[in-house]
Amino acid sequence: MKPATAAKKLGIFLPATPVEFQDGEVSRIQFLELQSTPPEWLVELRRNGPHPRQEVARKLGISTSGLARAGAPDTMTSVEIKSLLEQKPEWLVVERATHAAVQDDNARIKSERAARLESRGGGGGR
């Protein structure tokens, strides 16, 4: 697989990886090895960052759209993320509440759909 795909699946920021990783292809076996026995550079990246947008959003408990709305950087280190979580700026409080409400709503919709399928007799279809 391409390095960008592997980095995304590993939850790491590609430009922060070693040049050998960025320039080469990653086989399925290599990818599984990176997951099961990560090298020191991967452990360090996961621990301290910089983290990509999806990881930053996940660690902050908000959506990637929330990061964009706030004008926050797409990549952050663990120290920067921890600092934001401690400071709790207004935008972060609002985005966390928004994200939680969306997740609750999605769970409610999923539950209602499951209940509807159940009432129809276990439904196959969609």
Task: Please tell me the predicted confidence (pLDDT) of residue 123.
Answer: 54
Between CA 70 and CA 84 the distance in angstroms is: 12
Domains in the chain, number: 2
Q: At what angle do helices 53-60 and 78-87 cross, to 10 degrees?
A: 30
Per residue, the 3-state secondary structure of the chain, as one string, reads CCHHHHHHHHCCCHHHCCHHHHHCCCCHHHHHHHHHCCCHHHHHHHHHCCECHHHHHHHHCCCHHHHHHHCCCCCECHHHHHHHHHHCCHHHHHHHHHHHHHHHHHHHHHHHHHHHHHHCCCCCCC
For residues 62 and 41, membership in a common domain is answered with no
Per-residue model confidence as pLDDT tens for the chain (126 residues): 999 999 999 999 999 999 999 998 999 999 999 999 999 999 999 999 999 999 999 999 999 999 999 999 989 999 999 999 999 999 999 999 999 999 998 899 999 998 888 888 765 555
**Residue 58 structural domain:** 53-121
Asked if the structure places residue 114 within a domain, the reply is yes
For residues 5 and 36, membership in a common domain is answered with yes
Task: Please tell me the predicted confidence (pLDDT) of residue 64.
Answer: 93
For residues 44 and 60, membership in a common domain is answered with no
Task: Please tell me the predicted confidence (pLDDT) of residue 121.
Answer: 72
Task: Please tell me the predicted confidence (pLDDT) of residue 120.
Answer: 82
Asked if the structure places residue 126 within a domain, the reply is no
Between CA 21 and CA 47 the distance in angstroms is: 18
Task: Please tell me the predicted confidence (pLDDT) of residue 65.
Answer: 93
